[in-house]
Structure 1
């Protein structure tokens, strides 16, 4: 067996499996042992099916032995986010209303990952209907942060991020509306990318023209993230907004450095939100890191004064459209914060929605002009470090009250409505040892260049190589 452990890169695991230096069975047992060791404390992987996982690994080995062509992710164990429908696998959306739901077909992102050769093992935990950036639900309970089990793992892809950070899976998929790939990546010291709309097409969906929610990849390194992006990106006739560039554009190893890169670094986008002092300290220190690596750094930010209203209007409108009928039938089947968000959409008018799209258009124009001067915008991913897992959401930041479960997420969701790709990269830790990520934002459809810049920053810091002490770290 190749000299691999659960923290080896996904690229290394896949390369070894492809030439039979390690079998899919061996990879599976390696990860199942780690899950048995740490998942009882972390609670990141749910609906685990070890028997089916072992059968799938054996079948993967047999295909390779027969000389069949295998995909780039051949043999890698994988747990899909529990909001992504997987044929024949329980998909709960974290809701008691879907506790026993078993889809009959894969959604597109799942279809592509399975076709690339992964061996499914289960699901990763989510908040109820993926609403909110703290992963807890009535079915599976709370996912805890492997760096501190008293803290939140973030959300809504919190199970995915915690599983990655603690070595239970080599890669993870997720989705992002208000920060659901970026926030948990920041909280768990891993990497999460919110791609441009259409880069990772979604199907099926109730709204093929929706601009706020996207699927995307998560990994322990930028190169591994690009590896998964190469599988899930690319055009699809089933998704009308899908981009034509093939996923293979992200497959080669990332190159480049920070020399001459023009960085706009902003702690709070000119006072657009409050940032916890410990997070602000970590983000502020990154100016020296970037400059030492050859970048030019300025304190600058785009004007996003209408982004908050646009996001909240579109979120409420979409939630109302999606959940209205179900809420009427089962009014007690939703957590109160989600119920309130759905009901907000009932009072919206056509004029409100039209205004939100006008605001998106204006924001897009301002961002396009901004990126004529700068190559990348850097800011906090989250306004707070990982908070107590016993809270639904942070009620205050630096003594300033946070009225709703969305208020503390502005640093992520204000970027959502720009349409720009944004990545969370490990940047440092608070004095308590809680992870903090740096959010790097690039021009629309500029994922390749953004990944190269993120990779160069990652290599300059090596912060992402610090592992949690949950279980016996390999």
Structure 2
């Protein structure tokens, strides 16, 4: 098989080909870099690309390791030793970390070669990957549109076959929205499965987690296995991930637009319902649920805790008046909201979160299903959409409200492809499990993948 054809295959197939001697790790690297040169200019997914001769030498040195020199690009929120890590901010445009974070170190130890970074919005804020350092990442299926975010660079790199799997992070849909808009799989694990040392404060601050994205479920689980190594520095660490063969018959609760609370662009619900029919053909039961909780209460809890978390993370930059002007308006808005909150407000928000957690634990279904986004990919020149189906969006992230139910309580959520909208861009559906039931969610994802073939539809 020619190297360029191999790039269209799974990570597992690429690794097997290197191990079998059908292709060498340097040949695989050369083909990858050639493809990036050919395709990246159209989408701007991979940034901080390293020098070719350095990468070729590193690929040669990975002989015998599990990942066999597989090229990978790391999201530009994760620290990579000696490789520019900007977090999408001009304040860090020359920042080169002295060490890898735990996930990157694990990937490199397994034999992956880090070729560069994948683009992300500033500090990961917003589901549209643009920033003043590298510009905007565009959708491979329609470059006039957004690739989503904050793992938009990762999603676009996968869709264009420049990498075989990709890491990402998810606070408010950042693994699910770009997976949906790039026709791939994206998984937000249960909080603690992928630990990576975590935040210094780890009881209130459980909104964000790292996770995998891939074109194939086997690759997604391969990457998750590496990401989820037990981390003794994180007391919530529950890894490593253990796969399961099957699920038995599952009861899946379809929440649609949450009783009208979540505005939806025309065509989104219909595509998801077609995906649910696939699950029914596999023998699972799909039931339509009434909204199990107040969407307004979930949103109030979410934006309170999110703003508090963002404010605590970015407070030092905001307090430094020489740096504050480099923050985008959405970041300043989040920080100022967070800094203005009382302890009582944060506690009340956490009480709502606890109520929702108890409610999900007692729902008489095995999984919940929701769209992965409330609209199809919007024009890349926008900062964020100001309305959906005539309903105004009052914040820069309100248009992604549909991901909040899983994020708020750290539930495992897999975005699976469900097809393409009227404009030719993809959509996905969230399959959300009970806390800790990651293997069940992913086993269902494998069965769904075997029954569908959306991922074979490549960008033109």
TM-score (normalised: structure 1)? 0.92
- Give the one of 257, 260, 277 matched to 2:266: 277
> Would you say the 8 A contact 1:153–1:188 is kept in 2?
yes
Which whole-Å CA distance do the structure 2 matches of 1:165 and 1:186 have between them?
Answer: 11
Deviations 1:169-216 (Å, cap 9, x if unpaired)? 111001000000111000000110000110000236343442101000
Residue 472 of structure 1: aligned partner: none
Unpaired segments ≥5 residues, structure 1:
65-69, 470-474
- Aligned-pair distance for 1:360? 1.8
Residue 236 of structure 2: aligned partner: 241
Residue 217 of structure 2: aligned partner: 222
Is 1:184 aligned to 2:156, yes or no? no
**Alignment CA distance shift 1:440-1:393 (3 Å):** same
Which whole-Å CA distance do the structure 1 matches of 2:200 and 2:86 have between them?
Answer: 18
Unpaired segments ≥5 residues, structure 2:
none
Which whole-Å CA distance do the structure 2 matches of 1:319 and 1:425 have between them?
Answer: 28
> Would you say the 8 A contact 2:120–2:129 is kept in 1?
yes
**Alignment CA distance shift 1:205-1:88 (3 Å):** farther
Residue 252 of structure 2: aligned partner: 263
Q: Secondary structure at the match of 2:6?
A: coil
Which whole-Å CA distance do the structure 2 matches of 1:223 and 1:156 have between them?
Answer: 23
Say what the alpha-carbon RMSD is for the aligned residues: 1.6
Which whole-Å CA distance do the structure 1 matches of 2:291 and 2:229 have between them?
Answer: 29
Which whole-Å CA distance do the structure 1 matches of 2:234 and 2:437 have between them?
Answer: 20
Moved more, 453-462 or 156-165: 453-462
Residue 374 of structure 2: aligned partner: 383
Q: How many residues align?
A: 453
Is 1:328 aligned to 2:319, yes or no? yes
- Give the one of 332, 348, 351 matched to 2:341: 348
- Give the one of 414, 422, 427 matched to 2:413: 422
Q: Where in structure 2 are the equivalents of 1:65-464 lying within 5 Å? A: 70=65, 72-203=66-197, 205-209=199-203, 210-243=205-238, 245-247=239-241, 249-250=242-243, 255-256=245-246, 260-300=249-289, 303-305=292-294, 306-329=297-320, 330-370=323-363, 373-464=364-455
- Aligned-pair distance for 1:354? 1.2
Moved more, 284-293 or 81-90: 284-293
- Aligned-pair distance for 1:424? 0.4
Q: Secondary structure at the match of 2:416?
A: strand
- Aligned-pair distance for 1:461? 2.1
Residue 17 of structure 1: aligned partner: 18
Residue 467 of structure 1: aligned partner: 458
Deviations 1:93-138 (Å, cap 9, x if unpaired)? 0000111111111111111111111011000000011100000000
TM-score (normalised: structure 2)? 0.95
> Would you say the 8 A contact 1:83–1:93 is kept in 2?
yes
